[in-house]
Each structure stands twice: as C-alpha cells, then as structure tokens.
Amino acid sequence: MCWFKITMKKYIILIPIYNDRESLTKLIENINLEIKDFNSKVSIIVVNDASSQQIIDNYPNTENIESIEIINMKENRGHARCIASGFKYIFEKKEFDYVIPMDGDGEDRPEEIKNFIQLAEQPEDQTIVGERTKRSESLFFKLCYQVHKILTLVFTGQSIKFGNFTCLSKLTIEKMLNEKATWNSFSASLKKIEKNFISVPSIRGVRYFGPSKMSFFNLLKHSLSIISVFRKTVLIRSALFVIFYILLIKSNASIVTSLPLVLLLVMIYSISTLALRENINELDNCLKNINNIEKVK
C-alpha cells in the first residue's frame, strides 16, 4: 500500500500599519471569516511602522489563523519600506510558500484572498497580482489616478495596474530582496523583476474607519517613485520629447510654449531625487530597525 503525504501550502498575509488599530482589528476578524474553508495554513504578520498609538488589540476570533505576529519598528520608514522589511523578515525567519501583502485599512478586501489562493494552489508556483478594476475614491482622486497611469505608461512604457495587494511566490520574494528598487517602490520593483505573472480582477474597497490617507501629495510622490524605478527609459523618452517639441515650437517660442519643458525638468529632478531612496544596503540591514516582536497567537 502506498501512502501520499498531502502538504498544505503556507501563506503569510503581510500587513503594514500605522496608527490604525480599529481597522486592523476588523481586518483580522474578516480574514479569519474568509479563510475558514481553506485547506491551507494562513498566518498574519503585521509590521507596525513605529505608530504613535497603541496597535495591539483583543482579537477574539482567530481560530482559522495559524499565527499572528506584530513586528514593532523603531523608526517610521513608510509603507513601501515596511513591506520590504516584512519580506526580509519572512524570507529569513519563516517557512512559507506565498506572501500576500495587503493594506490594513480595509481598502484591500479580504474576500478577494480566496481568488489568490485558488490560483496559487495550482502546481506552478506563479506570482499573482490584483488588477484594479474599480475604485471607491472621489471623482477627483480617480481622475488624478488615471493621469498617474497615463504618465507612467508614456514615460516608462510600463502599464502598472496593481498595487500592494498581490500573492508572491517564494522565488519572487527572493528576487525582490535582491532588487534595490524594492526599498523605493513595491509595485514598480515587482514589475521590473517579474515579467510573467497572473492578473485577477480586484475592487478597491472602502476604508473601515476614517478618511483615506492617500492625499494628492502622497499620490504624486507615489507616482513619481514608480516612474523613478525606470529612470533610464524616462531620460531617453524625455530627450526625444525635448528634441521633437523644440522643433515644433521653434517659430512660436514663448514663456507659455516653454512651460511643458519646465514641467518636464521639474519631473526629471523629482524622480532623480526619489531614485536616491533605492539602497540595497539599507534593504539588507532593515531588520536592525525592529524594536521587538509580539506573538499575539
């Protein structure tokens, strides 16, 4: 008689958080509900980005979750670097097959986790991204977001329709930890290192509590950070644009017609500055920023 051992895949949900305890509590409860019928092991690791408020709460319903850990950071480093630090910790300290990064405020909907896991259970270990098909923000924000996507496509040649909400294989995590751009922009780094991935539709949810933290300034910084990862392409396309535009306006040169060139120079300066955030040494040593780790379950 032959016996075959069925090994359940191990998933770690990685949640970066800053001063959002109520949302985190509700998210963990909703994750617990959504994974109850999964034939997989699901754990949660929260990266607390040096919150000024208490983060840990009582989590009464966690029976379907394998374990919960809160990593408390010493210094606030920002969303992308929280995720990168989480990757580093998981890759070095944990046994896993996939990591699912997701926001802690409810905008990444826990009911969509099943879509990732259903695809990840297939024999091929392939990375999966949640492609945004619908957003819940204001009309002005949606318009700005569309402009961001168009600018990214025009200047980099890259169409990036996903955010943090993804399901990354162990091999992809290793690639991202060897890519310095991961310390600057999650989605751009993933697009840079991973050419073959599966896309599934994803609807941007509504925050559980309070207003969105993605202001116009944060969106602008987010957009320029993504573009900065592909700065070589940006410089080539910008040079071609400058040559073409100067030839186009040479007979009608004025302050008004030179405005696009000024804006382009400002953008190039901005992405050059943001590109300095890429630092493989800081990424390699990011675990030194951990203050302590609390095992909730």
- What residue ranges do the domains of the chain occupy? 10-136+160-211+279-295
pTM of this prediction?
0.90
CA–CA dist 297, 43 (Å, integer)? 10
How far apart CA 222 and CA 185 sit, in angstroms, is 8
Unique residue bearing structure tokens 């191990």: 10
Which pLDDT score, from 0 to 100, does residue 195 have?
A: 85
Q: Which helix (H) or strand (E) holds 38?
A: none
Does residue 79 sit in helix, strand or coil? helix
Per-residue model confidence as pLDDT tens for the chain (297 residues): 444 445 788 999 999 999 989 999 999 999 999 999 888 899 999 999 999 888 888 888 899 999 999 999 999 999 999 999 999 999 999 999 999 999 999 999 999 999 999 999 887 788 999 998 776 666 777 787 788 888 899 999 998 989 999 999 999 999 999 999 999 999 999 999 998 889 999 998 888 987 777 677 778 888 899 999 999 999 999 999 999 989 888 888 888 888 999 999 999 999 999 999 999 999 999 999 999 999 998
pLDDT of res. 18: 93
Angle formed by the axes of helices 231-249 and 139-156, to 10°? 90
pLDDT confidence of residue 148? 84
For residue 33, what pLDDT is reported?
94
φ, ψ (nearest 5 deg) of residue 17: -145, 150
- Angstrom distance (rounded) from CA 282 to CA 183: 8
Which amino acid is present at 254? S
Q: How long a stretch of residues is the chain?
A: 297
Determine the distance from the C-alpha atom of residue 279 to the mean position of all C-alpha atoms in its chain, rounded to a whole number.
17
Q: Does domain 10-136+160-211+279-295 have CATH number 3.40.50.150?
A: no
Asked whether the beta carbons of 99 and 14 are under 8 A apart, the reply is: yes
For β-strands 98-101 and 162-169, DSSP reports them as antiparallel
Residue 283, Cβ density class (10 Å: 0-12 exposed, 13-18 middle, ≥19 buried): buried
Task: Return all residues near 49 (Cβ < 8 A) that are at least 6 apart.
Answer: 16, 17, 18, 73, 76, 77, 78, 79, 82
214-239 burial code (b ≥16 CB/10 A, e <16): beeeebeebbbbbbbbbbeebeeebe
pLDDT at res. 61: 87
